Structure 1
Amino acid sequence: ATSDLPGGVVNVLTGRVAETAPWLASHMDVNAIDLTGAAGDAEHARQLEVAAADNLKRVLRAPDTEPDWTLPPGTKRLTSHLELKTVWHPIGV
């Protein structure tokens, strides 16, 4: 398969949430985490948010109800993981 994205831009990990999420939440090279898989356990989601706070990781909280995966996804989940910066460059000064 080919992709238009450079290597390492998107990493897909598989496994159980209870096993992988604590490592992802506390890893310093992970910039954002989506807690949708931890929706059923509020205490586990809280522990993941605390672990993610160590490096100011962006956290998308799990919805209160299971999402309807048949609907168009929209951009809410995507934009919560984006970082925007404004650059000002004076010319002719």
Structure 2
Amino acid sequence: MMYTLRHIALMAAMLLALALPNPAAAAECYADYKAKKDSPLRLHYGVMQLHQGCSKADAKKEVAARIKGDGWKLLNVLSVFDGSELAGKESSAGQFYLRY
């Protein structure tokens, strides 16, 4: 099979694009949320790293699914943010800081 210079250049460009890191995919995304359990009523504030998207709608789905296994029900997602805003949230979230 004969490759022209154009084909070789195109293949090289595609390989280079695949090899470069994708900054959007590498960006860390977090959400802080409030959740509850009934009987007896218990509430918690938590911070979670997101893996399924970085919008509030994505966060609601992911947080609800991950905390459900321990019997928690999501009340609301307060915010979605990057790693630069993590500072100071550990003391507020306590045992629920990056737990799930």
Structure with the larger RCO, 1 or 2 (CA within 8 Å, 6+ apart): 2
More helix per residue: 1 or 2?
A: 2
More strand per residue: 1 or 2?
A: 2
The two structures have a TM-score, normalised by structure 1, of: 0.28
Answer with 1 or 2: which has the greater Rg. Answer: 2
The two structures have a TM-score, normalised by structure 2, of: 0.27
